Amino acid sequence: MKDKVNIILSALLPLQYLLIRWISNYTEWIETYYSQGFYLKIAKALQGLFGWLPFSIGDIFYFTIGIWFLYLLYKLIKEKRPNFLKNALRITATLSIFYFLFNLFWALNYYRVPLYQKMEIETSYSTEDLYNTTQKLLANTNALHTDLAFADSLVVSPHTKKNIRAIASQGYERIPTYILSTNKIPSIAKNSLFSLTLSYMGYGGYFNPFTGEAQVNSKTPKALYAVTVAHEHAHQLGIAAENEANFIGVLASLKNHDKFIQYAGYSYALRYCLNELGRRDKELYKEVYEGIHPGVLAMYKNHHEFWRKYDTVIERVSKEIWDKMLKANKQKDGISSYSYIVALLVNFDKAQPDFFSIH
């Protein structure tokens, strides 16, 4: 009986893939009935089951599944001839189940209507537009740094990371509904049990689609930590694309009532725009760079040194795998799509010039 079930489940795996490819063409349907309907009910149910737990059940889930797959692979290799097909079918059947749950609980969000279309903004922008937005981000970053720091020193956050997790996404309530149809955060984020592993992989956090939890790397510096919490909450609300989750996370940070969270968001957005400006115009880049407060530059250096400390082949391999996964889910630029946040920031600034102002 089990063998027949495994055969059926294994046969369904390629059929599921073809079905998802077909459904992905109907972005309006996915946006209306899945992303703004069924998914939000799934997210609420998962948060009811796991959100109240003080630890990450998702980390334990992944660890358990990893051990299970290693066991299946072990049996596949050890029992080569007599049970090879049987063990292979167990693996493909398991993959079929998880592929189904992955798409049901989360992955159809990859195919929803792109954010720039919902916002009715352009995808291209001029260097002048980029420069103007970068200057605005620079002014606000410096102003907040002056309020929070002593002279040109590094900003010292008054918050613990536990407190940051509790307040980092309060700005969601101030994001316009035409950008985000729902701004209700299901639950606060959780520190990952495998933060050291995430550091070596080069990640600040991740969203677990099977448990609906937002996991954060507890080892990251506080400013990065704050923006990562907001980013992962965007995933919880059904924003699947990494560039769009980055953008939404920044908007939520900028509209937070807490000045440190605002500073984290502005300095994060400034770095993205400044890097893009450097690729386009070295002179304008130099002009903006020289206007950054020394304490802000010291923070950037601190962040760089943090990631460099964990720079190993593990990071390069893990990001190559993640790049392939993003491309498989119609994010054609893969990891490089993260830089598309600049286009969203610049064109949103043109459409809503008062949004990027300190309140």
Structure tokens at 341: 């946040």
pLDDT-based confidence at residue 181 (cuts at 50, 70, 90)? confident
pLDDT at residue 332, rounded to an integer: 55
53-84 confidence digits (pLDDT tens): 888 999 999 999 889 888 878 877 776 666 77
Percent of the chain with pLDDT over 70: 89
pLDDT-based confidence at residue 251 (cuts at 50, 70, 90)? very high
Separation CA 118–CA 20 (nearest Å): 23
Enumerate residues 6+ apart whose C-beta is below 8 A from 356.
Answer: 133, 136, 137, 140, 254, 349
118-128 confidence digits (pLDDT tens): 999 988 899 99
Does residue 100 surpass a pLDDT of 50? Answer: yes
pLDDT at residue 322, rounded to an integer: 42
CA angle 46, 329, 351 (to 5 degrees): 85
Separation CA 241–CA 245 (nearest Å): 6
Separation CA 259–CA 257 (nearest Å): 6
205-214 confidence digits (pLDDT tens): 999 999 999 9
Residue 236, Cβ neighbours under 10 Å: how many?
25
Q: What is the mean pLDDT of residues 349-358?
A: 88
Does residue 257 surpass a pLDDT of 90? Answer: yes
Separation CA 282–CA 318 (nearest Å): 32
pLDDT at residue 202, rounded to an integer: 86
Mean pLDDT (the chain, rounded): 87
272-302 confidence digits (pLDDT tens): 999 999 999 999 999 999 999 999 999 999 9
CA angle 273, 346, 301 (to 5 degrees): 15
Percent of the chain with pLDDT over 90: 61
Which one is predicted more confidently, 13 or 180?
Answer: 13
Does residue 317 surpass a pLDDT of 70? Answer: no
pLDDT at residue 69, rounded to an integer: 82
DSSP-based three-state secondary structure for 40 = helix
Does residue 339 surpass a pLDDT of 80? Answer: no
